[in-house]
Chain A
Amino acid sequence: MKLFKRHNNVLPGFGPTMGYTLLYLSLLVLIPLSALIFKTAGLSWHDFVAVVTAPRVLASYKVTFGAALAAAGINALFGVLVAWVLVRYPFPGKRLVDALVDLPFALPTAVAGITLATVYSANGWVGRYLEPHGIKVAFTPLGIIVAMTFIGLPFVVRTVQPVIEELDSEIEEAAACLGANRLQTFRRVLFPLLLPSVLTGFALAFARAVGEYGSIIFIAGNMPMVSEITPLVIITKLEQYDYQGATAVATVMLVASFVILLIINLLQKWSRRYAD
């Protein structure tokens, strides 16, 4: 641990706490995750490609990533709106609404799944008004988007909200003094300042939606090729004792998650580029 020792820091306990951190992290996260990599490595490249590009698996990527993209897009749009309204406009019950935004973080996904399926089913509270217009939500790919929107909702709001709070009111006043109207001020001055946080929130919501399982399976209908998400494909393979197949598909998902994680980190770096 000599290598890590910071000079002129008198606080004690770096060795034991760092040691424990690395041990616990290795035992519970790194070694189990590496099991996935090793299991996949046991598969020949040819077999691996065959498994992860099987038509049913490809269809599941399309459903999963497509729906996640749509849900993250909806969340980006409405997340900015909700954050803006929460910060800027007074209305009764604002604090309650503000606290409620975190509900998807707190509500177990299985509960979210069964209640969304009920509300958006043909005779549910919302579904009954959509059904006559030919819009079926529950048990269709649209239902997947609804569930993914639900679980991703807090991400954009919570990343954009503090940025709006910290916007300097002088910036908007300066734009107004220079003759810009509200729309110009938003488009040219405020939006560029919010954009990094919007993209970060979008990426976080997307990442969460791609991996989500619990809330979706109740509302998706789970029809192979149509409304089957990739995590469900993994579970199906597991239930058929196809461990290698499950592992191969899981590896593809894991790599996708890491790419998104990398993008999020780059976005956060990018968002600090104008800072003093």
Chain B
Amino acid sequence: MSAPTTTYAAKANDNHRITEPALVRWGLTVVALVFLAMFLVLPLAAVFSQAFEKGLDVYLTALKEPDTLSSIKLTLITAAVAVPLNLVFGVMAAWAIAKFTFPGKNLLITLIDLPFSVSPVISGLIFVLLFGRQGWLGPWLDAHDTKIVFAVPGIILATIFVTFPFIARELIPLMEAQGRDEEEAALVLGASGLQTFFRVTLPNIKWGIIYGVILCNARAMGEFGAVSVVSGHIRGSTNTVPLHVEILYNEYNYTAAFAVASLLAFLALITLVVKTVAEWKVRQQLGR
């Protein structure tokens, strides 16, 4: 009998905290949830609803189409190159910035964050200006019969650019919060620099890395604007999944467009789950 009594007591206590009248609380909660439903839940649900509108067979047929499969392949290749490169950079930059003090540190952090404040369209444009036919290196590339923009390398470069800061900006504050004590202790105990990194630092930033990688990957696979500028939209060759969604949509092939889009929406949901877990682990690690 004692258990239910205590719950009631706890509830009564919650209600008396200095807070708004119940009616206000209810009202605000409902307004907030309706707003989120209109802008988040309904659009997300609509993706799956549209994708399966004509049944599972049509859905699967749309996914098995050769152009779809080749776009999936290209997206996977792009992410497989861009994410590891940015991971190595992120860890290196975080080590230099978080564990050392030097003049110009804040400027460097701002420069690393720069791609976030550049429009995706401009992110694509700069690579066209560099490697395009009229670009700086265009004539030289032509002479050597190499293509970067309107080909796979350009897509990868633009993707690296737009996902550039993700891992570094996650790791820098995390490593700064952790300080240098543990690394110094390891060195005093006789560990080499690399041993210190792999045995002490890496376990401490593991969840921060997972968090950064999952966000970096989501953006790498989902980037549209920048990739759209450098891709040239060659079906079955330089189309990533988001670009393929656009083509299907513009051809009024809605079911197929949403079927392919549902793959990306599913990826987004997985991203949110992993992100939530990683966030929780990082908080736990920092003892917050």
A touching B, CB within 8 angstroms: yes
> Is B157's CB under 8 angstroms from A106's CB?
no
> Is A235's CB under 8 angstroms from B89's CB?
no
Q: Does A61 contact B (CB under 8 A)?
A: no
Q: Does A69 contact B (CB under 8 A)?
A: no
Once the chains are docked, how many angstroms separate the CA of A114 from the CA of B120? 18
Expressed in whole angstroms, the minimum distance between the Cβ of B13 and any Cβ of chain A is: 13
Q: Does B118 contact A (CB under 8 A)?
A: yes
Residues of B within 8 A of A29 (CB): 111-112, 114-115, 161, 164
Expressed in whole angstroms, the minimum distance between the Cβ of A256 and any Cβ of chain B is: 9
CB within 8 A of B29: which of A21, A85, A101, A231? A85
Q: What is the size category of the interface that chain B forms with chain A?
A: 35 or more
Closest to B187 in A: A10
Q: Does A270 contact B (CB under 8 A)?
A: no
Once the chains are docked, how many angstroms separate the CA of A234 from the CA of B226? 12
Q: Mark A101-141, 1 if CB is under 8 A from B, else 0.
A: 11111111111101110110000111000000000000000
Q: Does B155 contact A (CB under 8 A)?
A: no
- Secondary structure class of chain B's binding surface, majority of residues: helix
Q: Mark A75-117, 1 if CB is under 8 A from B, else 0.
A: 0001001101110111100010101111111111111101110
- Secondary structure class of chain A's binding surface, majority of residues: helix
CB within 8 A of B126: which of A36, A90, A114, A124? A36
> Which residues in window 221-242 of B have CB below 8 A to A?
221-225, 228-229, 241-242
> Is A119's CB under 8 angstroms from B102's CB?
no
Q: Does B79 contact A (CB under 8 A)?
A: no
CB within 8 A of B95: which of A13, A84, A97? A13
CB within 8 A of A35: which of B50, B136, B273? B136
Q: Does A223 contact B (CB under 8 A)?
A: no
> Is A81's CB under 8 angstroms from B275's CB?
no
Once the chains are docked, how many angstroms separate the CA of A27 from the CA of B257? 36
Residues of B within 8 A of A28 (CB): 157, 160-161, 164
> Is B18's CB under 8 angstroms from A111's CB?
no
Once the chains are docked, how many angstroms separate the CA of A172 from the CA of B19? 9
Residues of A within 8 A of B261 (CB): 110-111, 114-115
Q: Does A247 contact B (CB under 8 A)?
A: yes
Contact A32 B96, CB 8 Å, known A118-B46, A213-B120: no
Once the chains are docked, how many angstroms separate the CA of A213 from the CA of B112? 22
Residues of B within 8 A of A153 (CB): 39-40
Q: What is the size category of the interface that chain A forms with chain B?
A: 35 or more
Once the chains are docked, how many angstroms separate the CA of A115 from the CA of B264? 12
Once the chains are docked, how many angstroms separate the CA of A95 from the CA of B119? 32
Once the chains are docked, how many angstroms separate the CA of A88 from the CA of B26? 12
Contact A6 B32, CB 8 Å, known A107-B265, A114-B245: no
> Is A125's CB under 8 angstroms from B46's CB?
yes
Q: Does B60 contact A (CB under 8 A)?
A: no
Contact A103 B119, CB 8 Å, known A18-B96, A28-B157, A265-B110: no
Residues of B within 8 A of A125 (CB): 42, 46
Once the chains are docked, how many angstroms separate the CA of A169 from the CA of B242? 46
> Which residues in window 176-231 of B have CB below 8 A to A?
180, 183-184, 187, 193, 196-197, 215, 218, 221-225, 228-229
Q: Mark B78-100, 1 if CB is under 8 A from A, else 0.
A: 00000000000100110111011
Contact A247 B50, CB 8 Å, known A84-B28, A105-B215, A214-B120: no
> Which residues in window 235-275 of A have CB below 8 A to B?
235, 238, 241, 243, 246-247, 250, 253-254, 257-258, 260-261, 265
> Is B117's CB under 8 angstroms from A258's CB?
yes
A sample of 30 inter-chain contacts (CB < 8 A) reads A3-B103, A6-B100, A9-B101, A11-B180, A11-B184, A21-B93, A25-B111, A32-B130, A35-B130, A36-B126, A81-B31, A97-B33, A103-B44, A105-B215, A106-B267, A106-B269, A106-B275, A108-B241, A109-B242, A110-B261, A115-B50, A149-B39, A150-B43, A169-B17, A169-B18, A211-B122, A218-B246, A231-B122, A234-B125, A253-B122
Q: Which residues of B contact A (CB under 8 A)?
A: 14, 17-20, 24-25, 28-29, 31-33, 35-36, 38-44, 46-47, 50, 89, 92-93, 95-97, 99-103, 108, 110-115, 117-122, 125-130, 132, 134-136, 157, 160-161, 164, 180, 183-184, 187, 193, 196-197, 215, 218, 221-225, 228-229, 241-243, 245-246, 249, 254, 257-258, 261, 264-265, 267-269, 271-273, 275-276
CB-based closest 4 A-B pairs: A108-B222, A211-B119, A214-B224, A12-B193
